[in-house]
């Protein structure tokens, strides 16, 4: 499981699972990724994945989870939490945009982050 018994999330383990999935090992990894995607607290691991993952596909999965959360449960969050998530996504975008090289190499990721930012501001 990606969450341990104390609710802690393992980014390195998640990266390994995502790498294996994209390398073709879907038999063992698909059920794990599906369970993670459906876990009610998976959205709370998004920031950890975005900050510590070395696998771009893992970051995209995290953003998909956040998008799903925004579309289904966003209005149930306290205003303070919504603002914190919005500000966090904005800070990731600013950080990536601070370098022309990073902006070019992370172009698709940056576009996805912008889409999520628009969704949280809507």
Question: Using one digit for the tens of pLDDT, what is the confidence trace for 28-85?
Answer: 999 999 999 998 889 999 999 999 999 999 999 999 999 999 999 999 999 999 999 9
User: Percent of the chain, pLDDT > 70?
Assistant: 98
- Separation of alpha carbons 96 and 89, rounded Å: 11
User: Angle at which helices 11-22 and 26-38 pack, to 10 degrees?
Assistant: 130
Q: What is the pLDDT of residue 8?
A: 82
What is the spatial distance between Cα 105 and Cα 121, in angstroms, rounded to a whole number? Answer: 26
Crossing angle of the two packed helices 79-97 and 107-121, in degrees rounded to 10: 150
* Model confidence pLDDT, tens digit, residues 81-97: 999 999 999 999 999 99
The whole model's pTM is what? Answer: 0.89
């Amino acid at each position: 499981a990606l969450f341990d018994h104390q609710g802690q999330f393992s980014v390195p383990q998640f990266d390994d699972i995502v790498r294996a999935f994209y390398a073709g090992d879907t038999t063992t990894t698909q059920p794990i990724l599906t369970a993670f995607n459906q876990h009610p607290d998976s959205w709370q691991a998004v920031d950890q994945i975005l900050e510590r993952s070395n696998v771009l596909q893992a970051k995209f999965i995290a953003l998909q989870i956040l998008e799903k959360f925004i579309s289904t449960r966003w209005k149930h969050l306290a205003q303070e939490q919504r603002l914190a998530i919005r500000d966090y996504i904005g800070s990731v975008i600013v950080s990536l945009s601070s370098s022309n090289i990073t902006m070019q190499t992370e172009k698709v990721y940056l576009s996805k982050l912008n889409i999520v930012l628009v969704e949280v501001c809507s």
